[in-house]
Structure formats: structure tokens, C-alpha cells
Structure 1
Amino acid sequence: MPTLLALDASSSACSAALLIHEEGREAQVLARFALTPREHTRRLMPMIDELLAEAGIEIQRLDALAYGRGPGSFTGLRIAAGVAQGLAFGADKPLLGISTLEALALAAHRRYHLRYVMPALDARMGELYVAAYRCHDGRLETLAEEAVLPPDRLTLPKGHEEADWVGVGSGWASWDSLPTQVQAGISQHLSDLAPAAEDMVLLAARQFAAGEGREAHLVQPVYLRDKVAWQKSR
């Protein structure tokens, strides 16, 4: 298990998490999370400093860094990308970009043991960022790829319409604008769940183990604005 730092500023929440692994001891996650709209720049670095100080390690001891690469707030994504790339470049460590929608799905699975999860974030301009996952034993299978679309164009993943779907994330505040078929297929929706670095650091550990860490300048935010179709995963 690697030692990883993850950070996120993709929504109104600001968060950081540190995955620590020492030989002979169980891996531990230290985390900070706060709802701080428009204060990400001021809050993010102190969170990171607090975590490193609490763990008693320097950034050079990390195996890699990760950040919420989107989709999400344009400003927040740029803030997180700038901080993560700067730290990774300065420490000469690989960087991983973590999907905010995957992080939401993992959070719902870890906290509520949900199996079929459809995360949705408010994309502004009358649109949603959406995806769909099947979750099992802490792992995610993509059933519908990330996309941006108006609420009235949302559909359940083809071939999985009868599953017990749960919606999570701020996008589900648009419930009244969703098609009746989607409303009928969603057993519940949790619109107050936000992406968090605590879940991203676990996803990052798996990606790092799979050799997906990259040089800092190669990891870019994902905005999705050029993708307008709700696509079935191939």
C-alpha cells in the first residue's frame, strides 16, 4: 500500500486526505473536509500542512499525489490542479487525476453499502455531470460513462433499468426536472453528498498500484463541456 496525499476542490467542499502505510501496521487514512464555498485557495494548503504534521512525515516521503480532476467547478478544478501539480513537481512525485463522480460513487458504497449508484453534480447552465456505476467489495464498474447533459435527457443505463438505483450528489436537487422514467427507477437520492479526498485517496492507491501515476504536467482537469451525450460504457 503506497503513501499518498489526495486533495479536492471540485465542489463547494474543500478536502484533503493522507493514506499512510508503515510496514507491520494497517494502512490509515487521515482526512480534512469542510464546506467552504469560495475559500478553497485559503483553506487547501493549511489542510495539507495539518495532515503532514499530524502524520509526522514530509512530502518527499510520499509515493505519489492525487487530486479531484473533475468534472466539477471550473475554478475549483484549476485551484486543485495548480496545487497538486506544484507539489508533485516540487517533490518529483507522480500525480494521479481522480474522477469526482467515481469518488461520489465510492463514498455511497462505503457509507451506505449501495450497489448501483448514479452520481450527479450540478454543472450550472441547466446541466448535470453524470455517470453510473455498479459497486462491489469497494470496487467500481462503469455502466455509463461520464457526461454532461440537461436533466430532462438523463436515462438509466441500458440493460440495467431494473436495478435498485440510488442517486447521489448535488445534481439530484434537479429532481423535478428529471424524466418520469428516471424518477421511477431511482429508489432514493442523496443530494447532500459531495466529492471528498478521503475517497479519492483510496481510488488513487489502486491506480498507483496499476502503474497509472504520471508526470505532473501531463495530468489535466476534466471539464466535460465538449461531451454532450449520455453514453453507454463500451
Structure 2
Amino acid sequence: MTTQITSSILALDTCTESCSAALSYQGQVFSRIADAPREHSQRLLPMIDEVLKEAGVNLASLDVIAYGRGPGSFTGIRICTSMTQGLALGQDLPVIGISTLAAMAQMAINEHGAKQVLCAIDARMNEVYWAQFVDANGIAVLVGKEQVSSPDLVEFTLDNSHETQACGTGFDAYPQLLNLGNIERLIEVNFPDARAMLTLAQVGITAGQTTSVDDLAPVYLRDTVTWKKLPGRE
């Protein structure tokens, strides 16, 4: 079953090497994506302008902004959350955070019919951000929790009698992860894509999970206390 996207949603993601924007409006999807490491802050706004112009709408016509909340690059997450904050504040729009790992799993389901997905993003420092998902009526549902760990500590617990699709750069950096079970590398899904975020955002909207921009909540997974401002620091 495919989730029908009935809301007008702008989705943004810059949490990995890929930068993407997608807009759902009146049953149509408009999107841009580019592999542009270190260029996200320059590329994202033009992408947003392009999809809005292509749809013939402005920000005020939207219902919600969906943003890539992480995990991923700390700088990339900050760019995405800061951009979302600026856009949402200007139009008093609600926001909803979408996991980068869930977005990859959703893309595997949407485009490749995956039933089980193991997502892993190279987190550097000999670690990966990872999570397991299953298809529940066309929606990527998290099994367990999202984690950051060394590749040796990734625990595969999905049904081994069914093939699991492996998505993300973690499998390029640590190919031994493919030996954890009945796992097949899905090279077509290596990064989050804002198009898949639209599906997850619609599910969240229906469930009442949108928030005020004041409650925008990035997810770093790795030592989040490290990123907290110290007293007296900006």
C-alpha cells in the first residue's frame, strides 16, 4: 500500500554528502538532488527556489517543512536545521524532523520494493550510524533503535529467512557488514533523498507529530553532550 501524500510539504536534507529538496503539492512531487559535499549551504536555497517555482507556489502555501534531523555530518545537520528554522519562522510554519536512516529505508521501499532494510552511514572514527527497518504497509518502521557503534557491534536481528536490503555508505566503508545475515547491497540507495522524506512526513502529520520551529530537534547520536553550548559561550 502506498501512502497518499495529501499535505503540501517541503522536505530538505543536507545531513550527508548528498543535498536534496522535494516538494509535494496538489498530488505532484517536485525534487532536486545533488552529490555536493561541502557545498550544501550554497546549493540548498537554489534547489528550494527551483522546486517552488516549478510548482508555482510560495512558502506561505505550504502546510509543513520536513527536515533531515540526522544522524549524519554535524555540519550538515546544522545547515539543514538552520535553513529550516529560517524558512519556518518567516512563514510561521510547523516542522517535522525525519531520520536520515529512515529516509534511506523508505526510499528502498518506495523505489525497490524492499521488505527489510539495514541502513548504515559511515560516521568516521571507525563507527557507523545504523538502524534496522521493516516495511509495514509501505512505511519504513524502525526495529529497535538508531545507534552509533563500531562496525563490530552492529547487531542484525531481522528475519534471516527473508532478504534484507543494505543501504548507505557504511557498507562501502565496512563491507564486512554484509556478512551479518541474508543481506544484499542496494547500491542505488546510498544517501537520504528528500522525496522519501515526503512519505514519512505525511505519516507524521497524520499522527500529529509536527512541532513548532522552537522545538526543532536535531539528532546527532554521537556524544550529543559534546555539542551543547557551554555557559557563557555562543
TM over 0.5: yes
Match of 2:193 in 1: 196
Percent same amino acid among aligned pairs? 41
Asked if the contact 1:129–1:149 (Cα under 8 Å) also holds between the matched residues in 2, the reply is yes
Q: Distance in 1 between matches of 2:65 and 2:191?
A: 20
Any conservation in 2 of the 1:65–1:84 contact (CA below 8 Å)? Answer: yes
State the alpha-carbon separation in 2 of the partners of residues 43 and 16 from structure 1: 10
Cα distance change on mapping 1:162 and 1:61 into 2, 3 Å: same
8 Å contact from structure 2 (residues 109, 140) kept in 1? no
Conserved 8 A contact 1:151-1:174: no
Other-structure match for 1:171: 170
How many positions carry a matched residue from both structures? Answer: 218
Confirm or deny that 1:138 pairs with 2:107.
Answer: no
Q: 1:190 deviation in Å?
A: 2.8
1:35 & 1:52 partners in 2: Cα distance?
21
Q: Deviation string for 1:40-68 (max 9, x for gaps)?
A: 00000000011111111110010110110
Provide Cα deviations, 1:93-121, integer angstroms capped at 9, x if missing partner. 10100001000001111111110100110
* One of 21, 25, 31 as aligned partner of 1:20: 25
Q: Distance in 1 between matches of 2:180 and 2:53?
A: 48
Structure 2 match to 1:36: 36
Supply the distance in 1 between the matched residues of 2:175 and 2:104 (Cα, whole angstroms): 22
- Deviating beyond 4 angstroms after TM superposition, the runs of 4 or more aligned structure 1 residues are none
The CA distance in 1 between the partners of 2:149 and 2:133, in whole Å, is 17
- Residue by residue, what CA displacement relative to the aligned partner does 1:154-211 show, whole Å, maximum 9, x if unpaired? 1212x63443222111111133444xxx605133113562101111122111111211
Q: Match of 1:206?
A: 203
Contact 2:122 2:170 in 1 (8 A): yes
Any idea what the Cα deviations from partners look like across 1:7-37, whole Å, max 9, x if unmatched?
000111100000112xxxxx11110000001
Letter of the structure 2 residue corresponding to residue 4 of structure 1: I
CA distance in 1, matches of 2:35, 2:175: 25
Q: Which residue of 2 aligns with 1:100?
A: 100
Question: How far apart, CA to CA, are the structure 2 residues paired with 1:198 and 1:101?
Answer: 14
Contact 2:147 2:221 in 1 (8 A): yes
Deviation, structure 1 residue 136 = 3.6
Q: In the TM superposition, what are the counterparts of 1:51-200 in structure 2 within 5 Å?
A: 51-157=51-157, 160-178=159-177, 183-191=179-187, 193-200=190-197
- Provide TM-score, normalisation by structure 1: 0.88
> For residues 182 and 19 of structure 2, what CA distance do their matches in structure 1 show?
28
Q: Deviations over 1:108-144 (max 9, x none)?
A: 1111111010011011111000000111432122223
Structure 1 portions without partners, runs of 5+: 22-26, 228-234
Any idea what SS the aligned residue of 1:195 has? coil
